[in-house]
Amino acid sequence: MADQRLIQIEKTNAIAVVTLNRAEKLNALTPEMLDQLEAAAAQLESDANVRAVVLTGAGERAFCVGADINQWSALAPLDMWRVWVSHGHRIFDRWAALRLPVVAAINGPAFGGGLELAAVADVRVADPIATFALPEASIATCPGWSGTQRLVSLLGPSHVKSLALTAKRIDAQRAYAIGLIDEISPPKESVTTAIAIAEKIATLAPVSVQLTKQLINAASGFGAGATLEAMAGALSASTHDAREGMASFRERRTAQYEGQ
C-alpha cells in the first residue's frame, strides 16, 4: 500500500504485518483509520496465502494512544453513538473474529482504544517500555470499543475495574503479571518477536489453527453460535448424504440417504 495510507499492510511469505501509520500523532485512531482497519480485515480474510497477522504501531513512541480526541469531542451525542462508538465496536469485533491468528506487537503506550485494539489480538507481545491504561474516566467518558467487555473476558472484572476506575497506567511487567500480555520482548524488538511467533503459527496446519482459534473464542463467549453453525455446516457438507442430496436435486429425483 502507498505510504500515505493510515493503515499499512506488508506481506512476507505467509505473514502480514499491519501497521497503524500515524506516528506523528502517536497512532491515535481517526474515523478514516477505522475504515481502513475494516478494509484491512476484509482483505486479510480473503487472502488464502496469509496464515498469521502481526498488528503494530508505526514509530517508537506508541502502539496507539486511543481515539483522537479532536475527532470525537466535537460530535453530537447521537453521532457519537452511531458514527464513533458503534462503528468502532463493530470493526474491533471484526478483527477479533478474524479467522487468522493475530499477534499484537505493542511497541509503546497502549491507552484507551489502543488497549482495546490490542485486546482483539490472540497473542500480545510488548516492548519493556510499553505502558497500558484505560484513561477515559479522566476525561469524563467511558471505554467504548470493548474495554468493559472483551477486556473483562480476558482479565476478569477486578483487574479491569482497577484500570478503568482509576485511569492509572501500568507497565509491561504488571501487564504480564495480570495476563494482559503474553510476553515481554527485548528492547525495541516487539515486532521481531511477534513476527517470530507468527512464523511459528504459520508452520502449523492452517485449518486446524483457525478452527482452534474459533473454538477458544467460543469458549470465551465470543461467536459461539456462529462457530457451532460453521462447524456443523462443514461437517454435514463432507458427508456421503450431502453429495447424494446435491445429486438428487440436480437429477430431480428422490434422495436416498444412508446416514453416512
Report, as residue numbers or ranges, the catalytic residues: 116, 136
**Burial status of residue 167 (CB atoms within 10 A of its CB: 0-12, 13-18, 19 or more):** middle
CA pair distance 210, 102, nearest whole angstrom:
11
Task: Please state the φ and ψ torsions of residue 233, each to the nearest 5 degrees.
Answer: -65, -40
Phi-psi region of 188 (alpha: psi -120 to 50; beta: other; left: phi over 0): left
Q: Which of 117, 149, 115, 157 is nearest to 132 (CA)?
A: 115
Q: Which helix (H) or strand (E) holds 110?
A: strand 110-111
Beta-carbon count within 10 A of 17 CB:
19
244 SS3 class: helix
Q: Which of 62, 13, 19 is nearest to 37 (CA)?
A: 19
Beta-carbon count within 10 A of 255 CB:
13
Q: Which residues contact 190 (CB under 8 A, 6 or more apart)?
A: 56, 105, 106, 107, 125, 126, 127, 130
CA pair distance 34, 70, nearest whole angstrom:
15
